Homo-oligomer: A and B are copies of this chain.
């Protein structure tokens, strides 16, 4: 069975995040002074062949920590849902 997985990789709290700091500094000059607490991350979507949703989620987590994230600096959040095709 095919599942759609979504992995979001974000810097751990306390790790310097210059991209977010730069965006946040630019916001007031661009008219977005109602926006704060910017944080950036990377997002990955992929398909997994698995027997059930639990094993698909397990595989997505393995892939995320092995290949997509640096566990020293980054947190991973994973969601899996039955594929739509």
List residues of A whose CB falls within 8 A of some B CB. Answer: 8, 10, 23, 26-27, 30, 32, 34-50, 59, 62-63, 66-68
Whether the Cβ atoms of B42 and A43 lie closer than 8 Å is yes
Q: Is the CB–CB distance between A32 and B44 below 8 Å?
A: no
Shortest A37–chain B CB gap in Å is 4
Chain A: interface secondary structure? Answer: strand
A36 touches B47 (CB 8 A): yes
Copies in the complex: 2
Pick from B38, B39, B45, B59: contact of A34, CB under 8 Å: B59
Which residue in chain B gives the minimum CB-CB distance to A56?
Answer: B34
Instruction: Known A30-B67, A67-B23; judge A41-B42 contact (CB<8 A).
Output: yes
Q: Distance in Å from the Cβ of A14 to the closest Cβ of chain B?
A: 16
Taking CB atoms, residues of chain B closer than 8 Å to A8 are 43
